[in-house]
Amino acid sequence: MALALQTFATVKEANAALKSQGTRYLGGGTLVVRAANEGDVSVSSLIRSTEPSLSAITVTDGKARIGASVTMAAIGGNPDLGFLAKAARAVGGPAVRNMATVGGNLFAPAPYGDFAVALLALDATVSTHDGETPIETFLTRRDSNRAIVTSVAFALPKADGFRFLKVSRVKPKGVSLLSIAAVLELAGDGAVSSARIALGCMADRPMRAKAAEKALIGQSLTKDGIAPALAVGNEGTSPVTDPIASAWYRNEVLPVHLGRLLLT
Amino acid sequence: MAKVPVQFTLNGSEKAEFIDSGTTLLHALRDKIGDTSPKGGCHQGTCGACSVIIDGELRLSCLTLAETCNGAAITTTSGLSEGGVLHPLQHAFLDTFATQCGFCTPGMIMAAKVLLNHTPNPSRDDVVEALSGNVCRCTGYEPIIQAVLRAARANSQNAA
Ligand SMILES: Cc1cc2nc3c(=O)[nH]c(=O)nc-3n(C[C@H](O)[C@H](O)[C@H](O)COP(=O)(O)OP(=O)(O)OC[C@H]3O[C@@H](n4cnc5c(N)ncnc54)[C@H](O)[C@@H]3O)c2cc1C
Ligand code: FES
Ligand code: FES
């Protein structure tokens, strides 16, 4: 079925147009145009906005805000967001990264959504015209979301506080078997004082490994110190089974990769 | 369905067409404008055969709506040769037997062109990374990697 595209100068007008049946927002189109090419007839009209703020990156006072239309390539090349380059470059090949947006990644079903995993570990907030929502809440409600995401914002982690790992079978580009992001803070004695760990592909969307986070507090990042966290790393997971890996396999290897991430 | 106007430059020449809204750039280029160098392999973003350069960036024309390219400068592999003289990348692909059935070649050349525009002397890893979104069923990739490295050497010799 044929698609129609409607372009609006402002997010406000585009949000109004999205109220009609059969409409969907167009980010970079790597998922939504792909679905249309594959024969998805649930969408008859794509809506987009060219408002410049959607493409802006601002990093000031220890805080970053990334517009929803910013691409993975733009993040990968931004010197102020150097710590995020690895996560942005984990998404697809070079052409996909020139198209794939931050906004679209928030909606990407597993095995996609690697960048959203990073944003979840950063405890980002997601902005729409209704205001800001913590990303964890946003992700649980994303299926019923009809509002255009305008930006994501987060506090910059302390130096070396952010870690990211994507495991795939094909190098350098491959779909995720799983991905893990962590924001860790250490006390003076090297014990973990705060931890946020986000997992990709361990559910239908990015999720926090809260039991592992709790088990890390007060521990040092050594083989023995992280053992309790690894033991509970799978708590609450319900991984996808897809051509990349079975749910069973994902659960089996998660502690191995979580261990590697924590010990790097 | 209502037709919409699109206007962009393709390999340096102005193009203006009326297309159905929602038409992919791949479809517009091949079936409206008649540039068949971008290939439709998967229409899913996974093969890279449809790769083109839009305003200096590598893009997948199968997932790009033509209307979003209004005012853009688009380069395809058919625009690389000048006055019947092949581009160094095209020469290198021939010389290293990097093309067999040829279906992936225009996409590979686009990906390689963008790489060499930004990184004139790439490492082997740079080349592998740059071509990582492009699939070849014939060559086993090594001849393609060698072609890109050879084209880079040829360029730097010409520049010296
Ligand atoms: C070959 C290939 C490889 C890929 N590899 C990866 C990978 O390794 N890792 C990965 O994470 N992803 C991967 N993807 C998936 C995809 O490219 C990314 O998830 C990308 O970030 C999606 O963004 P987009 O802008 O293209 O989304 P679109 O296709 O434009 O949109 C996707 C969905 O999000 C909604 N949406 C988009 N932007 C907004 C917004 N601002 N507000 C509200 N709703 C919005 C759309 O309505 C749609 O429902 C791959 C895709 C392809 C084709
Ligand atoms: S046809 Fe576009 S990536 Fe395969
Ligand atoms: S030469 Fe046949 S697909 Fe690459």
Q: What are the domain boundaries of chain A?
A: 4-49, 53-155, 162-263
Question: For residue B1, what pLDDT is reported?
Answer: 64
Asked: is A53-155 a CATH 3.40.50.360 domain? The reply is no
| List of chain A residues whose C-beta atoms are within 8 Å of the C-beta of residue B48 | 93, 95
Question: For residue A126, what pLDDT is reported?
Answer: 98
CATH of domain A162-263: 3.30.390.50
Q: A173, B43: Cβ pair inside 8 Å?
A: no
Quickly state the pLDDT bin for A1 (edges 50, 70, 90): very low
Provide mean pLDDT across the span A115-143.
97
Find which of B54, B58, B63 to mutate to test the A interface (most A CBs within 10 Å of its CB): B63
pLDDT in tens, chain B (160 residues): 679 999 999 999 999 999 999 999 999 999 999 999 999 999 999 999 999 999 999 999 999 999 999 999 999 999 999 999 999 999 999 999 999 999 999 999 999 999 999 999 999 999 999 999 999 999 999 999 999 999 999 888 777 6
A236 residue type, one letter = G
* pLDDT tens digits, one per residue of A80-90: 999 999 999 99
pTM here is 0.97
Provide mean pLDDT across the span A200-224.
98
Q: In A77-183, where does DSSP find H-type helix?
A: 85-89, 94-99, 102-105, 114-121, 135-141
What mean pLDDT is reported for chain A?
Answer: 96
Q: How far is the CA of A144 from the centre of ligand 1 (A)?
A: 17
Q: What percent of chain A has pLDDT over 90?
A: 95
DSSP result, A195-222? EEEEEESSSSS-EE-HHHHHHHTT-BSS
Q: Strands A45-49 and A4-8: what pairing? A: parallel
Domain architecture of chain B: domains with CATH = 3-79 (3.10.20.30), 88-159 (1.10.150.120)
Contact B25, B40 (CB under 8 A): no
| List of chain B residues whose C-beta atoms are within 8 Å of the C-beta of residue A73 | 57
Residue A170's Cβ-side half-sphere holds a number of Cα atoms within 13 Å equal to 13
Question: For residue B155, what pLDDT is reported?
Answer: 83
Ligand 2 close to Cβ of residue B46 (< 6 A): yes
In sequence order, the 6+-apart residues with CB closer than 8 A to the CB of B100 are: B138, B139
Question: For residue A180, what pLDDT is reported?
Answer: 98
* pLDDT tens digits, one per residue of A147-203: 999 999 999 999 899 999 999 998 888 999 999 999 999 999 999 999 999 999 999
CA distance between the termini of chain A: 49
- Kindly report the backbone phi and psi dihedral angles of residue A123, in degrees, each rounded to the nearest multiple of 5, phi listed first: 55, 45
Q: What is the ipTM of this complex?
A: 0.96
Q: How far apart are CA B77 and CA B95, in angstroms?
A: 17
Question: For residue A113, what pLDDT is reported?
Answer: 98
B159 and chain A: CB distance < 8 Å anywhere?
no
Statement: residue A227 has pLDDT above 70: yes
Contact B152, B120 (CB under 8 A): yes
Provide mean pLDDT across the span A214-230.
98
Residue A19 tokens, joined? 């109220």
User: Measuring CA to CA, which residue among B99, B92, B109 is closest to residue B157?
Assistant: B92
